[in-house]
Structure 1
Amino acid sequence: MTQLQDEHRTEQQELLRVQDLTVRYGATTAVDGLSFTLGAGRSLGLVGESGSGKSTVAAALLGLLGGARVSGSIRLAGTEVTTAGEAELRALRGPKAAMVFQDALSALDPFWTVGDQIAEVYRLHTGAGRRAARERAVRVLDQVGIPDAARRARAHPHEFSGGMRQRALIAMALACAPDLLIADEPTTALDVTVQAQILALLAELRAAHGMAMLLVSHDLSVVAGATEEVLVLNGGRAVEHGPVGQVIGAPREPYTRALLAAVPRIDQRRTEAVPPAGEASGAASGESAGEPLLRVSGLRKEFRGARLPAVDGVDLELRAGESLGVVGESGSGKTTLGRLLVRLLEPTAGRIEFAGRDLARAGARELRPLRRDLQMVFQDPLSSLNPRRTIGDAVAEPLRLLDRPTGGELRRAVGELLERVGLDPDWQGRYPHELSGGQRQRVGIARALAPRPRLLVCDEPVASLDVSTQAQVVRLLGELQRELGLSLLFIAHDLAVVRQVSDRIAVMHRGRIVEQGPADQVYESPRHEYTRGLLAAVPTLVPVL
């Protein structure tokens, strides 16, 4: 065999070669001298914390880094991406490589039907006619498991659930039958059962079409079950690279070991329990161990036009200093329940007794003095913080409304709150966009703590955060709960995280609580079939070899 033939054979086997890739945004180096290869039909997981350069690498592979300075080499399916013109890149995108983006709702146009968007991609890259493109859209929607694909193709993105929107994005990527599928955090913020379905779908499609896959994720348990190789990034540099069993099972580098140690495990019991009811430092003097701080009975919420109630006859109790985890799939009623408990929503029926007072029928004037005792930490801190106001202003707002401190006294109070959640008190003048996701979530917690509440409702507070930041926020909530005697209602779809926070668990399904009890009992001896299904869907760190 000649040298030329040998080089051609290697190029055929090697779908992607990245050599000394460096990406800079001004003075910031996002990716620093990265090199790796990916063979045809193979799969590689790209993992690391937020800001490690994962998504930048994924975008660079398709030449999607406008405004960045890119050096090094990216050779994909025979095309040098770093020097390719627009026509070459257009020929590459779609037929050779396609991307599934993280946020399906943002990636899909709200004004076009799902079928039209997929058909447009197919027409753009193949030159097919409208009828053929529509038929192709229906066919790929059917392939990704969308029921009644011909009818659902005429629906708009907001008419799809989160899992169905993610399937639609995968269908769009499949429309031109690419050799490489780049999936950027495709399961982030999806509940465990939908996450399992998407990962199973990707595996089936790879097997059926022989596609290679680059899977970008901060969740090592997802990568462990879905890829053959793993590349760990930190600060834009490769830390460790090898077969998934080797990297996950016997990591060589301290950074990789630290990432693995931060992954919450479904089989790990909570190590630090809060004091028994009545002994917590923040418990009111008149509260006994037998009297719950919060008692909910027959709680129901119906939304106009909905076929079923969002919350349907919920009963639960929460004592002072206790933490209750609420889990369930998307649409099970978790967030609606949390908003009802702090009276951001008005219940249709039922009682919400807080410290002996019924909140369900309380008017605005009666609720006002109770607001300081009932606070909420929202899922997306970027959208819940005003981008035009500094974080100091955000934390100070509830203090101004309730305690009315001014000048230096207010600044000192805000500084103490920021310091309590692990942020620099001198950051009061910074804006939300200048902080990382984990830091913004800490600001949200500081703002909720400002009125010195007795009940803190946390709605998906660690969704979309990487495992290290997740562990930090969960640890912070535990410390604050012990120090302040907070009662904590923790809503999340990540069952492993919930176990590390909760004394008791309530499992919601279609607006109802189908099982509740001590956390270890629910996780280790679940009684309800739905609970068993949720637990079975949780990905583990055991690699699929």
Structure 2
Amino acid sequence: MGADTDLRTGTDTGTRTDLVTVSDLTVDFPVGEGRFVRAVEALSLSLPDGGALGVVGESGSGKSTVAAALLGLHRDTGARVSGTVRVAGTDPLTAEGAELRRLRGGLAAMVFQDPLSALDPYYAVGDQIAEVYRVHHPDASRRAARARAVAVLDRVGIPDAARRSRARPHEFSGGMRQRTLIAMALACEPRLLVADEPTTALDVTVQAQILDLLHGLRAETGMGLLLVTHDLGVVAGSVDEVLVMKDGRAVERGPVAAVLGAPKEAYTAALLAAVPRVEAASAPVRTDGAVADGDEPPLLAVRALRKEFGRGRRATVAVDGVDLTLRAGEALGVVGESGSGKTTLGRMVTGLLTPTAGEIRHGGVPAHGLRRDVQMVFQDPASSLNPRRSIGESVADPLRAAGALTDAEIRVRVRGLLAQVGLDPEAYHRYPHEFSGGQRQRVGIARALAPEPRLLVCDEPVSALDVTTQAQIVELLGRLRRELGLALLFIAHDLAVVRQVSDRVAVMRRGAVVEQGPVDRVYGAPEHPYTRALLAAVPVLDPAGAAQRRAQRLESASA
């Protein structure tokens, strides 16, 4: 494998044998008519046996492209790949037949970002893991493969593994599906685990559990870890070294404490500056439409709100007796784990769901059904926009439904909305797939603004975005609040983002609000144990602090 540079010390390692060696890797993707776009350029890295390397950067920086190259996943895709890649002595770019099968799943295994799309919805999770095991152990019986599947599910913390192994992916929570993917990756005891954004869509407590699990598995098995993420808080407590990428190139690399604590490159410093801090006091947002007090009724008042799905004994209570108020121009954050009822609450406020019991009032008037002055910004802009219609037509839909403007007036209004959210008005005729994730979210915000609402319900609007894009969307929402006097009901599992955005915060657990109040008070002196647990699970940028928090979580779990 030859000489390389030790990422810990920056010194020549001479003839050190590494688990992974990448030299001058360049990857170009076809974009039609003989044209290519460069995703990775002349990248070199190494990873020793048992080491952990974090690869970080914005969306489009080439992180996932590098991860896929380690398993030869660009082959037969039309991509042009050059350079040298070695994983435990195997070249994934040229290996064939049995050697390639041995690499994929045997020597190295990958945990993908979206477990729901990576798992087959038709088959039980245990059967899927058993199938992977038998591919690499053809002499194993069905019973042995089944026993192995149960063993690895138990190893990653799936309760009652033998019974739950017969469940299908949709019967698992997001965190349990991610654990299942990790179990599948561990089935053949690989020397390298490649984890591509394994915690992106998970709430803070489940994210902490997954990261603790990876840390424990590394200690137990001695496997190497290549962790791809845009969240620098995730790498702080999970890896030994970090590689920062931008536009397909390596910008900076070194020990995680050195890179995060004293970055040498301006781009790394900018990434760190964009990371929201849960400990940072919120800055008040002044809006022309804010109502501090007085006799005017709240813009939104929720009383004893309840939502049940199903009937009778089998009914599931999603929201249970919630009381909230929100005044004009104010921002109320709603936080909690997945399944806490946050999204259900938001959908009832917008009229997308009908409450089972309780009352919703807008401006003192009982609310019934959908309202123009309350609009929603959805979590996934890619799925909430029609891929067959231009963004201009999607933004125009609420205006056409109102019927008050001519087609010419609508086009002018839509172009103004696109400019208001920071997009080129001339992009009217372009389609959603031609935009980045952050740009698509701006389109979703423009569409929500079209009916001139007084209240925006934002449901996890930045959960899948990298830190710089996330910061841009948060800044945009703050500017819109100032300019338009908008009120926000901001639903998120990211407590640091909620602190940036909100004046007050409500903490939900199992459908109920367990604590609420001014955001600085709740974050600074939480009263409820659940709130304290959520705050303790938030990643920190200090590796020593992250290790201390992990030790505290493990101590609490064993108590």
Aligned to 1:504: 504
CA contact (8 A) 2:125 2:180 kept: yes
CA contact (8 A) 2:297 2:364 kept: no
- The answer as to whether partners of 1:97 and 1:180 remain within 8 angstroms in 2 is yes
Which residue of the partner structure matches residue 101 of structure 1?
112
Task: Give the aligned residue type for 2:513.
Answer: I
- After superposition, give the CA deviation of every residue in 1:444-492 in whole Å (9 maximum; x if it has no partner): 0000000000111000000110000000000000000111011100000
- The DSSP-based 3-state class of the residue aligned with 1:14 is coil
1:296-347 CA-partner distances (Å, limit 9, x unpaired):
1010000005554100000010000000000000000000000000110000
User: 2:15, 2:408 → 1: CA distance?
Assistant: 67
Is the CA contact 2:310–2:316 (under 8 Å) kept in the aligned structure 1? Answer: no
Query: What residue number does 1:310 align with?
Result: 318
* 1:418 alignment partner AA: L
Pick one of 292, 300, 304 that aligns with 1:298. 304
Superposed counterparts of 1:269-348, under 5 Å: 269-275=281-287, 280-281=288-289, 288=294, 291-304=297-310, 306-348=314-356
Amino acid corresponding to residue 294 of structure 1 in structure 2: L
| Change over 3 Å in CA distance of 1:517–1:290 after alignment to 2 | farther
Distance 1:501 1:386 in 2: 28
Q: Give the structure 1 partner of residue 537 of structure 2.
A: 537
Equivalent positions of 1:72-151 (< 5 A) are: 72-127=83-138, 128-151=140-163
Please point out which of 250, 255, 265 is paired with 1:243: 255
Q: Counterparts of 1:404 and 1:307 in 2: how far apart (Å)?
A: 43
Letter in structure 1 aligned against 2:350: V
Q: Is the 8 A contact 2:308 2:319 kept in 1?
A: yes
* 2: CA distance, partners of 1:264 / 1:290: 34
* Residues 23-56 of structure 1: CA deviation (Å, up to 9, x unaligned): 0012200001100000000000000000001111
Local SS of the residue matching 2:64? helix
Paired residue secondary structure (2:273)? helix
Distance 1:291 1:531 in 2: 29
- The alignment partner of 1:246 has SS state of helix
Counterpart-to-counterpart distance in 2, 1:238 and 1:290: 56
One-letter identity of the residue aligned with 2:303: S
User: After superposition, where does 1:64-463 map in structure 2 within 5 Å?
Assistant: 64-65=73-74, 66-127=77-138, 128-275=140-287, 280-281=288-289, 288=294, 291-304=297-310, 306-359=314-367, 362=368, 367=370, 371-463=371-463
Q: By how many angstroms is 1:109 displaced? A: 0.3
Q: Report the secondary structure of 1:83's partner residue.
A: coil
Deviation at 1:288, TM superposition (A): 4.5
**Following the alignment from structure 1 to structure 2, what is the Cα–Cα distance between the partners of residues 54 and 307?**
44
Residue 329 of structure 2 aligns to a residue in which SS?
coil
Are 2:111 and 2:196, in contact at CA under 8 Å, matched by a contact in 1? yes
- Taking the aligned partners of 1:290 and 1:540, their CA distance within structure 2 comes to 42
- Partner residue of 2:43 out of 29, 34, 45: 34
**Aligned partner of 2:21 among 12, 17, 20:** 17
| 3-state SS in 1 of match to 2:202 | coil
1:412 is displaced (CA, Å) by: 1.1
Cα distance in 2, alignment partners of residues 500 and 141 from structure 1: 38
SS at match of 1:340: helix
- Please give the alpha-carbon distance, in whole angstroms, between the structure 2 residues aligned to 1:398 and 1:293: 22
Q: Distance in 2 between matches of 1:10 and 1:181?
A: 25
Q: One-letter code of the match for 2:441?
A: Q
Matched pairs, number? 524
2:554 corresponds to which residue? Answer: none
TM-score (norm 2): 0.92
Partners of 2:294 and 2:388 lie apart in 1 by: 45
User: Cα distance, 1:89 vs. partner?
Assistant: 1.3
- Name the amino acid aligned to 2:259: V
Runs of 4+ in 1 over 6 A off after TM superposition: 9-12
Contact 1:11 1:78 in 2 (8 A): no
C-alpha contact 2:41 2:249 (8 A) present in aligned 1: yes
| Greater Cα offset, 85-94 or 56-65 | 85-94
Partner SS for 2:286: coil
Indicate the larger mover: 257-266 or 77-86.
77-86
Q: Which residue of 1 aligns with 2:483?
A: 483
- Write the distance in 1 (CA, Å) between the matches of 2:329 and 2:390: 32
| AA of the residue aligned to 1:69 | R
The 10-residue stretch of structure 1 (318-327 or 302-311) with the greater mean CA deviation from structure 2? 302-311
8 A contact 1:73–1:81 mirrored in 2: no
Aligned position for 2:8: none
C-alpha separation in 2, matches of 1:11 and 1:459: 52
Equivalent position of 1:6 in the other structure: none
Distance 1:329 1:11, change over 3 A: farther
1:348 Cα shift?
0.4
Identity over aligned pairs, percent: 68
Cα deviations by residue, 1:179-205 (Å, 9 ceiling, x for unpaired): 000000000110000000000000000
Question: Using the alignment, how far apart are the partners of 1:307 and 1:218 within structure 2?
Answer: 39
Give 1:290 deviation, angstroms: 5.3
Alpha-carbon distance between aligned partners in 1 of 2:98 and 2:105, rounded to the nearest angstrom: 13
RMSD: 1.7
With over 3 angstroms needed to count, the CA separation of the structure-2 counterparts of 1:483 and 1:531, relative to structure 1, is: same
Letter in 2 for 1:406: T
Of residues 520-529 and 62-71 in structure 1, the stretch that sits farther from structure 2 once superposed is 62-71
Between the aligned partners of 2:97 and 2:274, the Cα distance in structure 1 is 42
Q: Is the 8 A contact 2:289 2:328 kept in 1?
A: no
TM-aligned CA deviation for residue 282 of structure 1: 7.6
- Unpaired segments ≥5 residues, structure 1: 4-8
Distance in structure 2 (CA, Å) of the matches to 1:86 and 1:393: 49
C-alpha deviation, 1:12, in angstroms: 7.3
Deviation at 1:11, TM superposition (A): 7.3
For 2:119 and 2:62, how far apart are their aligned partners in 1? 24
Tell whether the 8 Å contact from 2:290 to 2:327 is kept in structure 1 after alignment: no
Alignment of 1:55-70 (within 5 A): 55-65=64-74, 66-70=77-81
Tell me the amino acid that sits aligned with residue 25 of structure 1.
F
Deviation for aligned residue 1:405: 2.1
Aligned partner letter, 1:343: G
**Secondary structure, in 3 states, of the residue corresponding to 2:543?**
coil
